[in-house]
Every structure is written in C-alpha cells, then in structure tokens.
Amino acid sequence: MNIFQKIGTIITRPGEFFDDTIGEGIGPAFGFYAFIWLIFLIFVIPVVLVLAFFVGSSIAAILGVEAGVMLGGATLLFAALMGIGMYLSALIFSFVWAAILHLWCLIWGGIGDYADSYKICVYASTPALLFGWIPGINGLAQIWSLILVGVGLVRLHNVSTLRAVLMIIIPFIIFIGLFILLWVWGLATATSA
C-alpha cells in the first residue's frame, strides 16, 4: 500500500487500516509521520507568512516604517527555522506522546505494545495534519483524529469501545478542571493584590 492509499484508508476505513498494521513495527509509521508532517509544513508555512505579512504591515504602520523593512529576509528565515524546528520537534515528541499513551493504555488494561501505541499516535494524527491548517475545518479534523485514536485503541490494544472513549475523555476533563482551577486561582490572586 503506497502512502496515498494509506492516507485514504486511515481516513475512510480506520478499523481495517489498524487491523492491517498488526505486527508492523515502528519504522513504517515513523516514515509515514515524517512524510505527513512535511505535507503539513508545505501548507502551513505559506499561511504563517501571509499572517506575518499582515501583522508586520500593521506593526509597520503603527511604527511609521516601511513594511518591507520588517518583512524582508528575516521573515523568510524565521519561517524556515520555525518550520525546521516544528518538524524536528514533532518527530522527536511523537515518541514521547506514544510513551504517554502506552502508559495510559497499560493503566486501562490495554494489551498492545509500545509499537502499537506509536502507530495509534502517528496514524490518528493524519486528519489533523492534512486538514488542520484550514480554518473552519481544523476543528473537525482534530475531532476525527481523536476518533481515530479511539479506533486504534480498540483494534490494537484490545480495549472496549467504552473504555477507549473514557481513555480519551478523562484526560480532557482533567485538563479542563486544571485550567479552570488555575484561572480561578489567577483571578483570586489578581483581585487580592
């Protein structure tokens, strides 16, 4: 299966796709992730440059300087360095996220190995990386990626659908609770000063 067939199968038939990856190591998943991230950067860097142009033009107008002074080669260099940094960070942190997911799977009784957790992280990110740069669609792409995590958990870690849903929802509830707690603490601190 070539990379474009993989993309199509991940998005349209995820259960079948994850079943086909049983026994596959980390190597093919890592290569796929590296390719998908390059596609993402090809689309996202021009968007960042356009935003930088508009923001830079606004700042230049406020400062009373020519926009070209602020948006020359430095912006292009910054975009290139940002892209390289994002790419390398994504590749490195894919292993960290997989380790966190794998620990979470072990806590919940999942039977897969680390490679299965890595494949879930990588392949489930496909919609978010392919469509996450498009305003209005990015939220749906993120949701579809979370659904793919659930499908991967069921297929590769052999957990029930309910358990997979809880494994995804509980971290969000904890995160939202911590966010609210920090927000309330910040308000209390700010008003007491």
The pLDDT confidence band at residue 71, using thresholds 50, 70 and 90, is low
Q: Which domain holds residue 148?
A: 3-192
Between 36-40, 78-82, 108-112, 159-163, the lowest mean confidence (pLDDT) is in 78-82
Interacting residues of 83 by C-beta distance below 8 A, sequence separation 6+: 41, 44, 45
Q: Which residue has the tokens 């979370």?
A: 146
150 has a pLDDT exceeding 90 = yes
Question: Would you state the pLDDT for residue 172?
Answer: 87
Residue 154 has pLDDT above 90, yes or no: yes
Residues 6+ apart with CB under 8 A from 87: 37, 38, 41
- What average pLDDT does the segment 18-42 reach? 93
Going by the DSSP 8-state scheme, the letter that residue 110 receives in this structure is -
Residue 39: how many other CB atoms lie within 10 Å: 15
- The owner of tokens 């689309």 is 43
Residue closest to 85 by CA, chosen among 117, 121, 119, 44: 44
Percentage of the chain with pLDDT > 70? Answer: 86
Helices (runs of H) and strands (runs of E) counted in the chain = 9, 0
Coil, strand or helix: which one is 65? coil
User: How many structural domains does the chain have?
Assistant: 1
Task: Calculate what percentage of the chain has a pLDDT beyond 90.
Answer: 62
User: Do the beta carbons of residue 18 and residue 155 sit within 8 Å?
Assistant: yes
